[in-house]
Amino acid sequence: MSTMRLIPGDMREVLARLISDGVRVSAVVCDPPYHLTSIVRRFGADNAAAPKPGKTGAYARASAGFMGKKWDDGDVATQPDTWRLCFDLLPPGGYLVAFSGTRTYHRVACAIEDAGFEIRDMISWLYGSGFPKSHDVSKGIDRASAASAASAAWEGWGTALKPAFEPICLARKPLSGTVASNVLAHGVGALNIDGCRVPSEQSDGGRWPANVTHDGSEEVVRAFPETQSTVPGKINPAASTRHVYEKYSPRSRIGPRDSNSAARFFYNAKADAGDRLGSKHPTVKPVDLMRWLVRLVTPPGGTVLDPFAGSGTTGMACMAEGLDCIMVEREAEYVEDIRRRIAHVRGEDAPLFSVPQ
């Protein structure tokens, strides 16, 4: 059974204690704050004057933080010192996986690199459930009591695109030699390619995992082009031409044609009600997506660290993959969420992991 360790508190303080205690982990997989609401710094401080609601209440809502939560304020994910703590808990070759927002990814990736990591790739997670948080320009003109003609001229203009993907930074602590020597010495440093292949009728072993993944929604699937490929059949020994695509090659397989969205070539994780399990957290990720990510970067029997545990989805993913997990969460309401969710998955009245007081 996987060991789940949940530690409430500020991740910087907790990780510093873990380092001093000599704790080491195999990989770090996390979903840190995206820091999308800069207005909190001006109006949301505990000693700040209450913001004026105005005609729409936008300032009052935004000053409370992203989706009403102040934990998205600040700059913890854009500070190299934050990621240096993760760096110090990993052996040479250990991987870090960190979600981010499209507007702030560059700062997070730079901070991770400045902490000493090598940026290995960026994985794009595509989804169809996003909605635009756009300001209607024409209505703004109307509210300012401007001429209706000016308002009409700007009808249909806004300030934001519909969100449809989140970037995921894939980074690695530098190796202590070659990949081969590093994996033998430290048990990490390579990606679990075969374990993360995408099932395919055209390939017995599945397709090579790509740096694009998606939620399988109809909207996303339709965005990919239609493609055709040959479903595996018998080897054709009679073909006389060589080095020609598909069925004309002596080594190719002849079978019925398969025509469908190219989305089938990429891993997809479909979120469902079980992903949330009643969690109050506003940004719960699909458990299947987190399973794929922890499996990609963690050796069998390894330990995953999530310093921004949130709803505990990384822990649930580790349970499903047979991995140990250390979770750190500052917000008391989410600590309780994590306890309840993992206890529910285990079918127990009380969770079997430590929660230091």
Q: How much is the pLDDT for 51?
A: 43
**Residue 122 and residue 140 share a domain:** no
The letter for the amino acid at 237 is P
Using CB atoms within 10 A of its CB, is residue 278 exposed (0-12), middle (13-18) or buried (19+)? exposed
Count of Cβ atoms closer than 10 Å to residue 277 Cβ: 18
Which residue type does 85 have?
A: L
CA 161 – CA 132 distance, rounded (Å): 6
**In a shared domain, residues 310 and 281:** yes
Domain that holds residue 146: 131-163
Comparing CA positions, the residue from 334, 336, 314 lying closest to residue 326 is 314
Question: What CATH number is given to the structural domain containing 322?
Answer: 3.40.50.150
What is the mean pLDDT of each successive set of 10 residues along the chain, which is 357 residues long?
93 97 98 72 49 43 44 79 98 98 94 98 90 79 74 87 93 98 98 93 82 91 79 44 35 42 86 58 77 97 96 93 96 88 74 45
In angstroms, the CA 264 to CA 214 distance is 10
Query: Do residues 304 and 339 share a domain?
Result: yes
Residue 105 counted as domain residue: yes
Q: What is the pLDDT of residue 120?
A: 98
Number of domains forming the structure of the chain: 2
Does residue 357 form part of some domain? no
The pair of structure tokens assigned to 342 is 């993992």
Whether residue 191 is contained in a domain is answered as: yes
**203 and 321 share a domain?**
yes
Tokens in use for 175?
């190796």
Q: Looking at the domain assignment, is residue 56 inside a domain? A: no
Burial of 186 (0-12, 13-18, 19+ CB in 10 A): buried
Backbone angles phi, psi at 96, to 5 degrees: -125, 130
Structure tokens at 251: 């080594």
Query: Does 253 reside within a domain?
Result: no
Residue 66 and residue 72: Cα distance in Å, rounded?
A: 6
3-state secondary structure of 234: strand
Residue 236 lies in a domain: no
Q: Distance (Å, rounded) from C-alpha 229 to C-alpha 192?
A: 26
- What one-character-per-residue DSSP string does 66-131 give? BTTBGGG-S-GGG-HHHHHHHHHHSPTT-EEEEE--TTTHHHHHHHHHHTT-EEEEEEEEE-S---
How far is Cα 63 from Cα 44, in angstroms, rounded to an integer? 5
